[in-house]
Amino acid sequence: MHRNATTTKKQELVEAAAGLFHEQGVGGTTLADVAVASKVPIGSVYYYFKTKDDLVSSVLDRRKEGFARLLARCEKISAPRNRLLALVQIWAEDRDKDAQYGCPIGSLCFELARARGPLSEQAVRPFRLLLEWCEEQFILIGAKDKSGCYALHLVSALEGISLTAAVFGDAEMISMEVKHLEEWLHSV
């Protein structure tokens, strides 16, 4: 029972940190902020995470696992084009939150990769997972040697529109790009 309580408390801290990192950035979030958001004493944060990097690493793992679950959900769709369309639809569903803060994975990974610190290689993993998955779908569609380019275009468009919509605070921009991407995917 102690293990479950420990795991739950640690998960709560990671969840609180993930939300704060999305809204404030890693640089703008302190461990004290995480303690307040998760309603635990600061000492409890240090019990589970010796450093802020340890906590950031756990959030990155959580984000990557979330991406993997999302892609696994898309895998249940029979046609690869429809899988890609389902991925694009996720951006449509999340447009309001993304227009406020950007994509939760993209903004976190960008901040860490830009810092070129010890977590920068780990920050690449969620993007690599997404790019490889998209490329595989394009290969299955029959795009052959263009699959990598198409995957890069799709991921760049999705992440780029999240950033652009956040800059302008305009969720409708995401809706417009989603429509364009859906048309493009039907033509590939």
**In 3D, which of 18, 22, 17 has the Cα closest to residue 106?**
22
Averages of pLDDT over runs of 10 residues in the chain (188 residues) are 62 94 93 94 92 93 88 92 96 94 89 83 88 97 96 97 96 98 97
Same domain, 1 and 94: no
What residues make up the domain containing 66? 59-187
Same domain, 73 and 33: no
Same domain, 86 and 117: yes
Same domain, 71 and 137: yes
The token pair at 161 is: 């529109």
Same domain, 28 and 66: no
Same domain, 96 and 183: yes
Domain count, the chain: 2
Q: What SS3 string covers the chain?
A: CHHHHHHHHHHHHHHHHHHHHHHHCCCCCCHHHHHHHHCCCHHHHHHHCCCHHHHHHHHHHHHHHHHHHHHHHHHCCCCHHHHHHHHHHHHHHCHHHHHHHCCHHHHHHHHHHHHCCCCHHHHHHHHHHHHHHHHHHHHHHCCHHHHHHHHHHHHHHHHHHHHHHHHHCCHHHHHHHHHHHHHHHHHC
Same domain, 77 and 122: yes
CATH of the domain at 113: 1.10.357.10
Same domain, 91 and 128: yes
Same domain, 108 and 171: yes
Same domain, 36 and 74: no
Same domain, 69 and 42: no
